[in-house]
Amino acid sequence: MCYDNLCKYLAEKYPQQIAAWALKQPITTPVEVLKTELTLEPIRADSVIFLKSGPEIQHLEFQVRVPQDRPMPLRMLNYSVRLQWQYGLPVRQVLIWLVPTSNQAVFETEFRTEFTRHRYQVIRLWEESPEPLLGNSALLPLAVLCATENPTELLSQVAQEVNKIESTDLRQEIAACTQILAGLRFDKQLISTMFREEVMRESVVYQDILQKGIAQGLEQGEKQGEVAVILRQLRRFCGRLNPEVESRIQSLSKPQLEELSEALLDFTNLADLQRWLESH
C-alpha cells in the first residue's frame, strides 16, 4: 500500500518530470494535475496529468504485484474509457511495473476481445536504465529499482545523489521516498547504512504517506465489515447466494453498499436482489 501511495505522491508532486520520463520525450509546456477519482462507481487512478501541449490526458498506473481478480488490461481499458468520458480528451496510458516477476502478465500491452482492442504503454522498471533518473532529483526514488549488474552500487549512487540536494526539506523528502521504494529490492539494514534512519522519522512526506496507508486500511476494513453484515442479512431474506452474486456485492462502492443496506429491507426473494444489482 505504501509503495502505491508513494508513487502517487511523486506523480502528483513532480508531474512534468514523471510524465517526460514515462513518455520518453521532453515536456516544456505547462501541465496540470487532475483529480484521480473517476466518475461512476468510484475508482482511483494512480496519476492523471493534463498535458496542455496536446491537449491530452496522461494516465500513469504503478503496480507492485499482478492483480489476482480483474486483469490489468481490462483495468487499463476501464480507466481509459472513464477518463475520456470525464474529460473528453485523448488518453495516453503508461503502466509501470515496479518489481521483477516471471508472470507473463507484465508483458501484456493491450486488452483484446473479438470486438474490442485497447493498447497502452508498459514500463518494466527493472529493465530501464537508471541514468535518465539519476540526473533528476524527483526521479531518484525510482532509480533504485532500475536495471543494474550491481544493485548495491546503484543504491549507493542514488544515496550520493540525494546527499547533493541543497535544500534540506527537499533532501529529506527525496531520501524518505527513496528508502520506501528501496524496500522493494533491498534489505532494511543495507538501506539504513546508506541513509540516516532519522530522516525517515523526520520526513513530513513519509508521515503523510504512512497516514494515508493507515486511513486506506481502515476504510477497507470498514467496507469489508459492512459487506459481511449485508451478506448475512441477504442470506436470511433471500437464502443462499451464488458466488457470482456475492462477488458483485463485494465490488460495490461504500455509497452503493449503504444504499443496498436500506433497500434489502424490502427484499422478499433473490429476484429482488438481482433486479437491484442490475439497476446499479
What's the CA gap between 138 and 121, in Å, rounded?
21
pLDDT of residue 218: 43
What's the CA gap between 13 and 173, in Å, rounded?
11
- Shortest CA distance to 252 belongs to which of 42, 67, 74? 42
Cell 496519476 sits on residue: 47
Joined grid coordinates for residue 26: 521532453
Contact indicator for 103, 116 with CB cutoff of 8 Å: no
pLDDT tens string, the chain, 280 residues long: the values are 567 778 888 888 899 999 899 888 888 888 888 877 665 566 778 888 888 877 899 999 999 889 877 899 999 999 999 999 888 999 999 999 999 998 999 999 999 999 999 999 999 999 999 999 999 999 999 999 999 999 999 999 999 999 999 988 888 888 888 988 898 899 888 888 888 655 555 544 555 555 555 455 545 555 566 677 777 777 766 667 777 777 778 777 777 777 777 777 667 677 778 888 888 7
State the helix-helix crossing angle for 243-250 and 204-238, rounded to 10 degrees.
140
What's the CA gap between 57 and 68, in Å, rounded?
28
Contact indicator for 155, 190 with CB cutoff of 8 Å: yes
What's the CA gap between 47 and 257, in Å, rounded?
27
What's the CA gap between 44 and 86, in Å, rounded?
13
pLDDT of residue 216: 55
Contact indicator for 19, 57 with CB cutoff of 8 Å: no
Q: Is 140 exposed, middle or buried (0-12, 13-18, 19+ CB in 10 A)?
A: buried
Report pTM: 0.67
- Which DSSP helix (H) or strand (E) runs through 106? none
- Which DSSP helix (H) or strand (E) runs through 118? strand 117-119
- Phi and psi angles of residue 31, each rounded to the nearest 5 degrees, phi first: -125, 160
pLDDT of residue 225: 62
| 239 phi-psi bin (left φ>0, alpha ψ -120 to 50, beta other) | left
Q: Beta partners for 222? A: none
Distances (CA, A) of 40 to 30, 56, 262: 29, 21, 20
Contact indicator for 135, 34 with CB cutoff of 8 Å: no
What's the CA gap between 171 and 162, in Å, rounded?
6
What's the CA gap between 234 and 268, in Å, rounded?
10
What's the CA gap between 154 and 146, in Å, rounded?
9
Q: Do β-strands 91-97 and 56-63 pair in parallel, antiparallel, or remain unpaired?
A: parallel
Joined grid coordinates for residue 158: 542514488
